[in-house]
Amino acid sequence: MSRILTGRLIPHPLLTLLLTVTWCLLINDLSLGTVVFGLIVGLIIPILTAAYWPNRPGVSRPHLFLGYTLIVIWDILVANVVVAALVVFRRNRSLTPCWVAIPLDIRKPEAITILAGTITLTPGTVSADLSSEGHSLLVHALNADDPDAVRDEIKHRYERRLKRIFE
């Protein structure tokens, strides 16, 4: 009974949390009134929009997102410096851009979207295309001598973690 009630009232707890936090950030204030109004917004919007996403994404281990975000931010910092050095100090001729095809183990569209976004945000790689049935990802690397190494690193560093978060 209580399960049904929470299912009806809070169809999407993570969305409720996200909307509340976004509201507080938008108002730029952490007083009781803001939080309460944010909670009201965060409770009403999921109920009103629940009908539009019958297959909403299920996240099995949301707490692992924090570690994943920290790793991605660290990688962005490191890779930014590396790519900036490539752009400034290397001649165009000595760069070896290449295409990398990455076979995907994750199946959920949300997980693939996050993986593609991560690949684009970390400088040096841009995700360009998905295969026709969504089983592999086409990535362009700015400077990679060994496409297989890029593929293995992305699979090991990001995809393995996303698989744990989502499945």
Partner 1 sequence: MNWDFIAELAVCVTIVIGSVFILVGSYGLLKLDYPMSRLHAPTKAGTLGVGGILLASMIYSFALGDGSLHELLIMAFLFVTAPISAHFVAKVHLHRDHLKQDLPVPPKDPLWATKDTGGQPQPD
Of 6, 36, 53, 99, which one interacts with partner 1 (CB under 8 A)? 99
Of 36, 40, 76, 149, which one interacts with partner 1 (CB under 8 A)? 76
Task: Please name the residue that has the structure tokens 């890779």.
Answer: 79
Interaction mask 37-56, partner 1, x per CB under 8 A: --------------------
Q: Does 136 bind partner 1 (CB under 8 A)?
A: yes
Cα 137 from Cα 3, distance rounded (Å):
39
Taking alpha carbons only, the member of 70, 56, 48, 167 closest to residue 118 is 70
* Number of residues binding to partner 1, judged by CB under 8 A: 42
Q: CB-wise, 47 or 155, nearer to partner 1?
A: 155
Cα 156 from Cα 167, distance rounded (Å):
16
Q: CB-wise, 46 or 125, nearer to partner 1?
A: 125
Tokens of 97: 């851009």
- Kindly report the CA angle at 116 between 153 and 18, in degrees rounded to 5? 115
Span interacting with partner 1, options 9-17, 24-32, 42-50, 156-164, rule CB under 8 A: 24-32
Task: Please name the residue that has the structure tokens 């969305």.
Answer: 15
Of 41, 68, 130, 163, which one interacts with partner 1 (CB under 8 A)? 130
Q: Which amino acid is at 64?
A: L
Q: Does 142 bind partner 1 (CB under 8 A)?
A: yes
Of 6, 9, 70, 129, which one interacts with partner 1 (CB under 8 A)? 129
Tokens of 147: 């496409």
